[in-house]
Structure 1
């Protein structure tokens, strides 16, 4: 015959075991769709006001990014539209833009078209360089992705700030609006595309709100640099002629 004390201990043990298993299940469920790396947001009143303000803004950035990451995985609240959002995200990737630009450059029917495509290709390369430099300097950790995908496997980006998709979307949108698009309806589509590409990075929990916001501002300013450094077709022909003359002179000397 068991004593009352033994029954109490056994009941407490079963309750604690059930509670531990419940907490374990909750952690597993939350970790299956977690996409934010832990950040140290502890604030002490002894810290400088600048540090406190920075940590407060960082907390807002993390909270808002978490609220927008509704397509982070299939189990998320909007996980059903994840394939569509990924398609929008892919439209802002650098690979299709470079392939399309080079193809149009080689198949261009007029000198003006080839000149525009040449500068767009140079703008894309400039964007890749500047984004890589800023990411290497800032080194902000990217939110942890829930599942590896083709592009994220072969083109791994360890750092998050700024968003390369956002810089590219803003740069290409401003470039198209200034050089190729005249109709109001097409201009609206270009601006809408840039906004959707930037939003897709937040919906998929790829990056934080500040990454996308700074990326849009950076890409918008990059076009001003491209416009100042615009390469004309006459300049390209002159450079080609200079290179050809140097080769001919070397051949004659030899």
Structure 2
């Protein structure tokens, strides 16, 4: 068995401070607007609304179901963004290896994998911030829709702390990563032609595979 990693004292103090401040924040919100148990359905709804697996499955499915070129372009770029987000979060979590808050209940988390036992950064926050920034960057959205996206992303971030899923610094880290990812994907945004090439490649591969089954 490997030796237990020694956390530097300054970092340890910061993490302990973060844990204390997170607990105080949750208690404050619970006293001011709670009890939080009354809002559990809303908080869980926000959690489900930004879970990576439904987003990934839904995006992949609609790429092959929908034929409109502009919609496919959006979906292909969204798929790339989601894959980038999953990889980045998994790598950072594996490096940081910070445990989730003590009050977190693993059995209440929807479709978890082993890497999800780690807390930094919040994957929900990276995804929510990335999406709420990326869409307004790429499309001239109706202003109220932009406001709604930002409000949703912000609510998801706050809910991660209130559900005891993450500490405050996990959320802040997720916000920063999500912002950078949105800028990167915006710069790498595929054109309709490039997106169509990607889709056709996989469709051709599927058709070739099917021909061997005949």
| Length-normalised TM-score, structure 2 | 0.77
Higher relative contact order (CA 8 A, sep 6+): 2
Out of 92, 96, 102, the residue aligned to residue 134 of structure 1 is 92
Q: 2:64 aligns with which of 106, 109, 127?
A: 106
Deviation at 1:150, TM superposition (A): 5.6
| Change beyond 3 A, Cα 1:108–1:179 | farther
Q: What are the ranges of 5 or more consecutive residues in structure 2 without an aligned counterpart? A: 1-5, 209-214
Q: Indicate whether 1:206 and 2:165 are aligned.
A: yes
Mark the CA change 1:123 to 1:78 in structure 2 (over 3 Å): closer, same or farther: same
Residue of structure 2 equivalent to 1:97: 55
1:228 to 175, 187, 208: 187
**Distance in 1 of aligned mates of 2:152 and 2:40:** 17
**TM-score normalized with structure 1 length:** 0.66
Aligned residues: 196
Q: CA RMSD in A?
A: 3.2
- The higher radius of gyration belongs to 1
1:187 maps to which residue?
A: 146
Structure 1 CA distance for aligned equivalents of residues 110 and 178 of structure 2: 22
Equivalent residues of 1:116, 1:179 under 8 A apart: no
Distance of 1:132 and 1:219 partners within structure 2: 14
Gaps of 5+ in 1: 1-39, 42-49, 249-254
Cα distance per residue 1:130-188 (max 9 Å; x no partner): 10011111111112323612615x54511111000000001111122123451111111
1:107 and 1:203, CA in 2 relative to 1: closer, same or farther beyond 3 A?
same
Higher normalized helix content (fraction of residues): 2
Q: Are 2:66 and 1:66 aligned? A: no
- CA 1:226–1:160: 2 relative to 1, 3 Å: same
CA offsets 1:61-114 (integer angstroms, 9 cap, x no match): 111211233599xxx942222122111111111123223323443343531221
Residue equivalent to 2:42: 84
Contact 2:72 2:195 in 1 (8 A): no
Q: Does 1:148 align with 2:110?
A: no
**Cα pair 1:173 1:191 within 8 Å, conserved:** yes
Q: Distance in 1 between matches of 2:25 and 2:140?
A: 31
Which residue number in structure 2 is paired with residue 36 of structure 1?
Answer: none
